[in-house]
Each structure stands twice: as C-alpha cells, then as structure tokens.
Amino acid sequence: KNQVEQSPQSLIILEGKNCTLQCNYTVSPFSNLRWYKQDTGRGPVSLTIMTFSENTKSNGRYTATLDADTKQSSLHITASQLSDSASYICVVSAVDGNKLVFGAGTILRVKS
C-alpha cells in the first residue's frame, strides 16, 4: 500500500534555531517527492520538488534531502523565523496512475 509517514507530528522551537522534519514513504514506482508549507487558513505552497536522481534541493532557508534507496526525505529549516510557523506536508508522486500520496504533515511552531 502506498503510504507517506511524517515525523514528528508537531514541533516547537525557538526563533533562530534549526530543525529537521522527516518523511518516510513506501510509494512505488516513485516519480517525485515534494515538500509543501501550509499556513493556517491558506492553501499549501510548494517548497521543493525532487526526482529520483536528485538528493538535495534548496529554497532559501529550506533544504530538502532525498534518499531513494531508503525511501526517506528530510526538510531542514535553518535559522527559523516566526513566519515559519506552519504545517509542512510531504507528498510523493507515483508513476503508476499519476496520483499523489500525502503525508499527514508536521505542525511547526516557532516561538520568540
């Protein structure tokens, strides 16, 4: 069964600190993996999209890594800001059927 699991479920960090969010998937055959940021009351916004051959992709203070062998991805946030408080969703695309499989998300709260 195609699944995407994210950890932790929620996280609280102090402003300025770094954090790493995890995503494990069992989707096969794999096409790409995406990270989205969703602010409260808004739709998700794409942060990164990685294909099988890419193992790192950055978008400002956000850096995503992908290990296609172990089927794991991480999203690292550097020097966190209050505006980073949001839900971060990992999404994996399967080649077969062109369908997206969504993780449940990690809720990040950055405190001052």
Partner 1 sequence: KAGVTQTPRYLIKTRGQQVTLSCSPISGHRSVSWYQQTPGQGLQFLFEYFSETQRNKGNFPGRFSGRQFSNSRSEMNVSTLELGDSALYLCASSLLWGGDEKLFFGSGTQLSVL
Q: What are phi and psi of 96, to 5 degrees?
A: -75, 115
Three-state secondary structure call for residue 96: helix
Longest dimension (CA), the chain: 45
Distance spanning both ends of the chain, measured CA to CA: 41
Beta bridge partners of 108: 11, 86
**Bond from prior residue into 8 cis (ω within 30 degrees of 0):** yes
Using rule CB under 8 A, residue 72 touches partner 1: no
Q: Which of residues 4-23 bind partner 1 (CB under 8 A)?
A: none
Q: Measured from the CB of residue 89, what is the shortest distance to partner 1 in angstroms?
A: 7
Decide whether 41 or 69 has the Cβ nearer to partner 1. Answer: 41
Of 10-18, 45-53, 65-73, 76-84, the segment contacting partner 1 by CB under 8 A is 45-53
Using rule CB under 8 A, residue 105 touches partner 1: yes
Which parts of this chain interact with partner 1 (CB under 8 A)?
A: 31-32, 41-46, 49, 89, 91, 93-95, 97-100, 102-105
